[in-house]
Amino acid sequence: MYFIHLPQINEMNYFNNVLDSIGNTPLIKINKLCSTTKAKVLAKVETTNPGNSVKDRMALKMVEDAEELGLIKPGGTIVEGTSGNTGMGLALACIVKGYKLICVLNDKQSKEKMDILRAVGAEVVVCPTAVEPEDPRSYYSVSKRLAEETPNSWYVNQYDNLSNRKAHYESTGPEIWEQTDGKITHFVVGVGTGGTISGVGKFLKEKNPNIKIWGIDTYGSVFKKYHETGIFDENEIYPYITEGIGEDILPENVDFEIIDAFEKVTDKDAAVYTRKLAREEGIFVGNSAGAAIKGVCQLADQLTEDDVVVVLFHDHGSRYIGKIFNDDWMKERGFLDEEKKVAKDIVISHEGKRLVKADVNDPLSMVMVAMKQFDISQIPVFENGKMVGSISDHNLFKKILDEPEIKEFPVKNVMEAPFPSVDGTTPINEITSLFNSNNRAVIVNYDKDKQHIITVQDMMNAVGANNN
Ligand SMILES: Cc1ncc(COP(=O)(O)O)c(C=O)c1O
């Protein structure tokens, strides 16, 4: 029998309803993905909100402000044109507060998104995508019409409803300030309605006007050009894939004065980096998070080691299972080739283990013990920090059988040629060609001064030859 020792708890610790659990999301250090920058990069990961996105914060605030202004009355109906995160946040608020919710979606949205909204009680109205915004069948027109026709209803309009950015001014901004102990120097985030960047940015700049606020934009969106030139250029507008960020309108929630710069990230990079966040950091988040972290990498040369960058990740990766995390979807769009494995991808998995090496003057008996202890077949030999040779079990044991007395000789007397060296970005198909019957390992130099070994076994694992 096990006795579990729990700390003495004098008071119960719970939320009165799901809405009270919104906020207080964690700040998590990015350890591998931003190796090009010397700055400390911290991710504000919003997936622990009950609706799995940052949008819970603004959805609740918009509803509560509408209640205070008398725009929505008990038993009323809330109407919004939303496909995902805001709809989920509104649905939670409606459940707790007793309102009905109508979400108007266009028919390009996935069935999963519609089912998720229905799961939390929303009525889903689907409109055709291939019509102009002014067409009475468009989702803009239908949302407005439903709000006008439905008694005791209220149309949210997250783009121009300024309670959106106020929510972030009141909660997200102060959390980031406190979590970084006021040391934040840069805030980076994807921009859609503009609520997150404008609210957080305003709060942070009031605390310290030197903090830089950088918005992440997509190719196909008007934001960057408008910010830099004041021109709303319709030529900038074309269809793109990245979800949640970029616009073909200027929402009232975007406060261009607060934003220091916009950086554009391609659809492909956003998708590839969303997958990297999951695989290399264990942070399973959505498409706009991939764009945001790639934006930080692109801006690395503007950051120093004294900088503390906070990058906000909006939503959960589970919403993108059929797209970004689906290999076929990625391949159809030509997004997967950048994921070809390189040398660093292979050594990263055994980074926790030290590279076992020998010095030219070590006796061979010591090398034999190391091979046995660490269950390895080859060891690089170093002299004054430089690789000058190698020892492999196959050749070593042949030599010892012929001349048993060499066991106490220094390694330099019997060592073979050094293993070939590659850098971390070398594709694995190039590494494969370096292996042959005389050479059973390759040394990888990566991340400035790190070094590790790739063996035949590692190559087999990398190409999927082992199924365990
Ligand atoms: C996944 C995702 N990322 C980014 C954004 C942009 O955030 P904001 O609307 O606060 O600018 C949104 C907004 O819809 C979103 O859903």
CA of 55 from ligand 1 middle (Å) equals 8
Token pair, residue 443, equals 């040394």
Distances in whole angstroms, Cα of residue 78 to Cα of each of 103, 164, 202: 8, 15, 28
CA of 197 from ligand 1 middle (Å) equals 10
Report pLDDT for 447: 82
Nearest by Cα to 117 from 164, 167, 81: 81
Residue pair 19/96 in contact (Cβ under 8 Å)? The answer is yes
Q: How far apart are CA 48 and CA 46, in angstroms?
A: 6
CA of 382 from ligand 1 middle (Å) equals 52
Distances in whole angstroms, Cα of residue 294 to Cα of each of 289, 308, 356: 8, 16, 34
Choose one of 314, 318, 323, 324 to mutate for the ligand 1 pocket test, by most ligand atoms within 8 angstroms of C-beta. Answer: 314
Choose one of 54, 86, 221 to mutate for the ligand 1 pocket test, by most ligand atoms within 8 angstroms of C-beta. Answer: 54
Residues with CB under 6 A from ligand 1: 85, 190-197, 243-245, 286, 288, 314-315
- 3-44 pLDDT tens trace: 445 545 568 999 999 999 999 999 999 999 988 888 999 999
Residue 131 pLDDT exceeds 80: no
Q: Which of 5-19, 100-114, 132-146, 225-239 has the lowest mean pLDDT?
A: 5-19
Looking up tokens 């709809």, which residue turns up? 87
Residue type, 44: K
Q: Closest ligand 1 atom, CA of 286?
A: 1
- Residue closest via CA to ligand 1's atom 3 equals 244
Choose one of 46, 55, 311 to mutate for the ligand 1 pocket test, by most ligand atoms within 8 angstroms of C-beta. Answer: 55
Residue pair 287/271 in contact (Cβ under 8 Å)? The answer is yes
CA of 254 from ligand 1 middle (Å) equals 12
- 247-298 pLDDT tens trace: 888 999 999 999 999 999 999 999 999 999 999 999 999 999 999 999 999 9
468 pLDDT tier (thresholds 50, 70, 90): very low
CA of 190 from ligand 1 middle (Å) equals 7
Q: How far apart are CA 187 and CA 161, in angstroms?
A: 23
Its pTM surpasses 0.95:
no
Active site residues: 55
Nearest by Cα to 28 from 347, 317, 285, 294: 285
Residue pair 154/66 in contact (Cβ under 8 Å)? The answer is yes
Residue 349 pLDDT exceeds 80: no
